[in-house]
Amino acid sequence: MADYKAPLRDMRFVLHEVLNLEDHYQNLGVEELNRELVDAFLEEGAKFAMNELDPLYRSADEEGCQYHNGEVTTPKGFKEAYQKYVEGGWPSMNGDPEYGGQGLPNSAGTAISEMIGTANWAWNMYPGLSHGAVATLESHGTDEQKNTWLPKLVSGEWTGTMCLTEPHCGSDLGLLKTKAEPRDDGSYTITGTKIWISAGEHDMADNIVHIVLARTPGAPEGTKGISLFIVPKFLPDADGNPGQRNDLVCGSIEHKMGIHGNATCVMNFDGAQGFLIGEENKGLNCMFTFMNFARLGTAIQGVAHAERGFQVALDFARERLAMRSLSGPKNPDGPADPVIVHPDVRRMTLTAKAFAEGGRAMTYYASTLGDLVNQGDEEAENLMALLTPIAKAFLTEVGVESAIHGIQVCGGSGYIREWGAEQNLRDAKISTIYEGTTGIQALDLLGRKVLQSQGEQLRVWTKIIHKFCQSLEGDEAMKEFIEPLAARNEEWGNMTMELGQKAMQNPEEVGGASVDYLMYAGYVSLAYFWARMAKTAQEQLDAGTTETAFYQAKIDTARFYFRRLLPRCDAHKGAIEGGLECLMAIEDEHFMF
């Protein structure tokens, strides 16, 4: 099985050379966060990911979580790794110093999250949702709530969850039935069942703080009547330590396709004590702080699976000997050539590489927007709102594709466990489902973000791409990237206008076109980041860099992306133009098997 190797050189390239993160931090007023400190974080994060988590990747998948009478035991080594994670101060990187955090911008931890997730996504899910709980409380909690819950969540001593889904409703939260009855002391009694709760019960932390959606008596129907509550596993005592056990229990854990090392729980709230966050009936507004954080985290998951798919494919393709190159032997002293010389193997391996490295640039860029949003930048907020569904859905879809390529390159070896390729695919598939499926993200992008804003939010992004292309007019070295990017950017705007006109006649047109529209948006957006990376690489080559191989590989991968992957836009555009009628023509009762 191929060991995970943290792509530190590529991370530094994106952070320092493409995004100029040091300047970004200076503009934020975080002057102490310079290049040297960021690199030190990367080095230590890589050691933790490769030495502590990657060795548990396969064993945790095979062992899984064990459930007994409401208690969950995580796979061997998980608890010990988590203690090292807490001792290393990793959970507190982005936390408010007032509550024990290090006060670093969220973007400072994005690369760490990627490395930890690629090494072991199932493990990463235990601390992963805690960050969303912290962000929700920081934005919407009272001072008392912040003082009670944030210190332990920020330190990692306690972990957090997000409790939305119920047995009868998934993404349609307007149907949820969990009740919240007021108590005399100002708290609430929470009663109901939540399902598919990641890390809802485990043995890695002293307490688990559930962030729960529920309805108060007399609340309006639908999403307008939802409130948000803090419901801990243990109620804090007078000293802030875990005290009395709350009236909630894990009813069971799911038997899943992948992420076996993470406990996906059915949580039964049987009159548990909860504490209102924000105002009654405004819970969904508060929850979106959590959900948007989780969606960007899921975009990173797409990058993680693409990276692992690429690394597995590359390691195998370099070692495996099979057949001869069509143009003559490349390994004349051996019985056959390594399969990396064959064009189709290179196609699959380069596809995973292009998605991993392009997705890395996209998610790191989005994280810098998050830093600006936290400082009240409205333009950054609008741009991040547009890019979030694109990043979440597109990068997870191509992450799954990359995982498939990892299996295919390995052939029969990819279908068995030894190389880890089949686990990568099983773990990857959930990313296109949770935090809002690809279809739901697509409706959010086209329906809410683009059409409801009359294209204004989209124009913020396409204008950035247009100005970038305009700045490089006449640059012969960049012509092969800039001309197709500019053309697709213009086509994107025209296609949006046509869709808007159709949607005015029939709103169903939005649902019929949305996923193809999102994928089109993803390919064009990724092309922008590949063009930026190609420009940076060309500048280094022109300056006489000694790292010729690294920078030339960047340009070569960009060229592959533009010539072999960006043309997929034509298929998505053609599917949109195929219209709604063929989707809806068959009557429901005529679907047969």
pLDDT above 80 for 171: no
The phi and psi torsions of 321 (rounded to 5 degrees) equal -100, 130
Q: Give catalytic residues, as residue numbers.
A: 435
How far is Cα 409 from Cα 220, in angstroms, rounded to an integer?
54
Residue 173 confidence (pLDDT):
78
Note the Cα 133 to chain centre separation in Å.
Answer: 16
pLDDT tens-digit map of 78-104 = 999 999 999 999 999 999 999 999 999
Residue 175 confidence (pLDDT):
86
**Residue corresponding to tokens 């090392």:** 261
pLDDT above 80 for 293: no
Domain range list for the chain: 456-580
pLDDT above 80 for 290: no
pLDDT above 90 for 563: yes
> What's the count of helices (H) and strands (E) in the chain, helices before strands?
20, 11
292 pLDDT band, cuts 50/70/90, is confident
pLDDT tens-digit map of 36-51 = 999 999 999 999 999 9
Q: For 179-208, what is the mean pLDDT?
A: 97
Instruction: Return the closest-CA partner of residue 124 out of 204, 181, 9, 62.
Output: 204
How far is Cα 395 from Cα 392, in angstroms, rounded to an integer?
6
Residue type at 127 in one-letter notation = P
Helix axes 35-48, 110-119, angle to 10 degrees: 20
Q: Checking DSSP bridges between strand 188-198 and strand 71-73, what pairing results, if any?
A: unpaired
365 pLDDT band, cuts 50/70/90, is very high
Residue 287 confidence (pLDDT):
81
How many residues does this entry show for the chain? 593
- 3-state SS of 75-140? CCCHHHHHHHHHHCCCCCCCCCHHHCCCCCCHHHHHHHHHHHHHHCHHHHHHHHHHHHHHHHHHHH
Q: Of all residues in the chain, what percent carry a pLDDT higher than 90? A: 93
pLDDT tens-digit map of 254-275 = 999 999 999 999 999 999 999 9
Q: Quick check: 92 and 157 in contact, CB under 8 A?
A: no
Residue 284 confidence (pLDDT):
87
Whole-model pTM: value is 0.97
Q: For 236-254, what is the mean pLDDT?
A: 97
pLDDT tens-digit map of 390-428 = 999 999 999 999 999 999 999 999 999 988 999 999 999
Q: Mention every residue, 6+ apart, whose C-beta is less than 8 A from residue 391.
A: 295, 296, 299, 302, 359, 362, 363, 366
Q: Is 24 helix (H, G, I), strand (E, B) or coil?
A: helix
Residue type at 83 in one-letter notation = Q
Instruction: Return the closest-CA partner of residue 496 out of 471, 542, 530, 462.
Output: 462
323 pLDDT band, cuts 50/70/90, is very high
Q: How many CB atoms lie within 10 A of CB 434?
A: 22
Sign of CA dihedral 584, 586, 590, 593: negative
Structure tokens at 336: 């056959």
* CB < 8 Å & 24+ apart, contacts of 563-568: 564/347, 564/350, 564/351, 565/351, 565/354, 565/523, 566/484, 566/488, 566/523, 566/524, 566/527, 568/519, 568/523
Average pLDDT, the chain: 96
